[in-house]
Structure 1
Amino acid sequence: MKKLSLAVAAIALFGFNTTQAQQQENTTTPDFYRWQVRMRAVGVIPAESANIGIIGGDAAISNSYIPELDFTYFFTKNIAAELILGTTKHDVHTTASDISAIGGPTSTDVNLGSVYLLPPTLTLQYHFNAGQAFKPYVGAGVNYTIFYNAEAGTTVKDVKYDNAFGYAFQLGFDYNINDRFFINVDAKKIFLKTDVTVDASNLATGLNIPASVDINPLLLGVGMGYRF
C-alpha cells in the first residue's frame, strides 16, 4: 500500500510538472510576445493638392525614401498598438501659378525649396492568424506631423508650414522566419493637411501668399522585425 501511494504521488507530481512546463511554453510562443520592433525601408509618396491664394496653381511635393523604426505592443495575441518613427525631406514647388502681377509669366512653377517632416504615427491594430507563420493585420490611428528646417530656395524669401494632426490607416503582414524574427510588409495612408505661408516680400513689398495644402502621403514599407 505504501508503494502504491508513492507511485500515485510520483505520477501526480510528474503531471503537475508537465502542466507547468506546457504553460510556460505557451506563454513564450510568438503569439504571446508583448513587444516587437521593426526596421523598414519606406517610400513616402505624397498625393498632394493645394488651394493657393493670389498666384493660384497647385503644389508639387517630391517622393522620399527613408529608413523607419517602429515599436509594437500587444495587449492580447490579436490586438496591438504601433508607433512609427521616421523623418522625410521633400522638395516643394507650385505648378501653373500666375505671377504676371510682378512681371512674370501667367503660368509657371515657383520653387519653394524643401522641408523636413517628422510624422510620428500611432495606430491600433488587429492581427489575424495568431500562432501562424503568415499574420496579416489592419490598423487605424492618428498622426501629428512636425515641419522643420524649411529652406525657401532661391525664388521667395521664406516659407512657413503649420504643424498638423492627421488620420492614418494601414494594412500589412508579418511572415515568421522563426519564433523571434520575421519579415514585414506594410502600407499606410495618412490624411494630412497643412496651412502654408509664403513670404514673397523680396518680389513685391508686403507680398505674402497663403496656401492650404493636402499632402495625404502613401507610405510603402518592407523590413525585418524582432519579438521580445
Structure 2
Amino acid sequence: MRTTLLSASLLAMALVTPFAQAHQAGDIIVRAGAITVDPQEQSSDIWVGALNSNVVGTKASLNSDTQLGLNFAYMLTSHVGIELLAATPFTHDVGVKGMPGPFAGLNGKLGELKQLPPTLSILYYPMDSGSAFQPYAGAGINYTWFFDDKLTSEAENKGFSGLDMEDSWGLAAQVGMDYMLSDNLMINGQVRYIDIDTTGTTSFGGQKVKVDVEVDPWVYMVGLGYKF
C-alpha cells in the first residue's frame, strides 16, 4: 500500500510540474525579498588639504546592509525580459583607517550615508518555457544615488565638518534563478555585481579632505515572486 501511494504521489508530481508554466511574452513579474549590498571597496589614499598631499596607507571603508529588495520585470519574449531593481534605502557606515601618528585619533567611524541603486537590466532565460526551473543571466546599467550623508558627533568634535558622496553611473551584471511553485508563484535567488565609483568629501580644520572609492558591491537577494 505504501509503495502504491508513493508511486502515485511521484506520478502526480511528474504530471503537475510540466503544467507549472514559466515565463511567456507579456508576463509581468514582481519579486520581493531580503537584499544585501556588500561593498568590496577599494579606495585611494586620503587627500588631506591641511597637508596638501595624500596620506599614504590611508583608506575609506563602507559596511554592508540588508533591506527589502524589489524587482519588476516584463517579458519581451519567453526567453528575454527587461527588469528594474529597486529597494528600500541602504544605510552604510563610512570609516577611515590607516591615519598615522598624531592623526591616529581620526581613525574609526566618520559618518554614515544612505543610498539607492536602481538598476535596469536585460535578462536572458535559456530554458524552455515549460521548465519549472528557470535560471537566467542579465546585464544592465546602474545609477546609485547617495543622500542623507552625515558625520557622527564624535567626528564633528574632532574638527570634521560636512560629508558628501558623489552619485555614480556604472554597469551591472547578474545571475539568478526562478523556480515555479505554481503557474504564478515562484521562489527566486539572485547575485549581482555593480560597478559603483564615488568621491567622498569632507573638511578637517577648515581644509578639504577627499578620497576616491570603488565601492563595487556584490548584491545578494532571496525572495518570492508572482507572475501576472
| TM-score after normalising by structure 2 | 0.80
Tell me the distance in 1 between the aligned counterparts of 2:178 and 2:126: 10
- Between Structure 1 and Structure 2, whose CA radius of gyration is higher? 1
How many percent identity over aligned positions? 30
Q: Residue 226 of structure 1 corresponds to which residue in structure 2?
A: 226
Q: Confirm or deny that 1:189 pairs with 2:193.
A: yes
Tell me the distance in 1 between the aligned counterparts of 2:28 and 2:90: 26
- The total of aligned residue pairs comes to 193
Tell me the distance in 2 between the aligned counterparts of 1:117 and 1:173: 26
Q: Confirm or deny that 1:118 pairs with 2:93.
A: no
Give the CA deviation at 1:104. 3.1
Classify the secondary structure of the residue corresponding to 2:216. coil
1:16-70 Cα offsets, whole Å, 9 max, x none, are: xxxxxxxxxxxx9543252100002112110011112134511221110111111
1:27-106 to 2 correspondences below 5 Å: 29-32=21-24, 33-51=26-44, 52-54=46-48, 55-56=55-56, 57-86=58-87, 87-98=89-100, 100=101, 103-105=102-104
| TM-score after normalising by structure 1 | 0.80
Q: Is the 8 A contact 1:97 1:110 kept in 2?
A: no
- Unpaired runs of 5+ residues, structure 1, are 1-27
Tell me the distance in 2 between the aligned counterparts of 1:110 and 1:158: 17
1:139-190 Cα offsets, whole Å, 9 max, x none, are: 0001001101111112121110111101110001000000100000000000
Q: Is the 8 A contact 1:40 1:68 kept in 2?
A: yes
Classify the secondary structure of the residue corresponding to 1:104. helix
1:150-189 to 2 correspondences below 5 Å: 150-153=149-152, 154-155=154-155, 156-189=160-193
Tell me the distance in 1 between the aligned counterparts of 2:179 and 2:99: 48
RMSD (Å), alpha carbons: 1.7
Q: Is the 8 A contact 2:22 2:132 kept in 1?
A: no
1:142-157 to 2 correspondences below 5 Å: 142-153=141-152, 154-155=154-155, 156-157=160-161
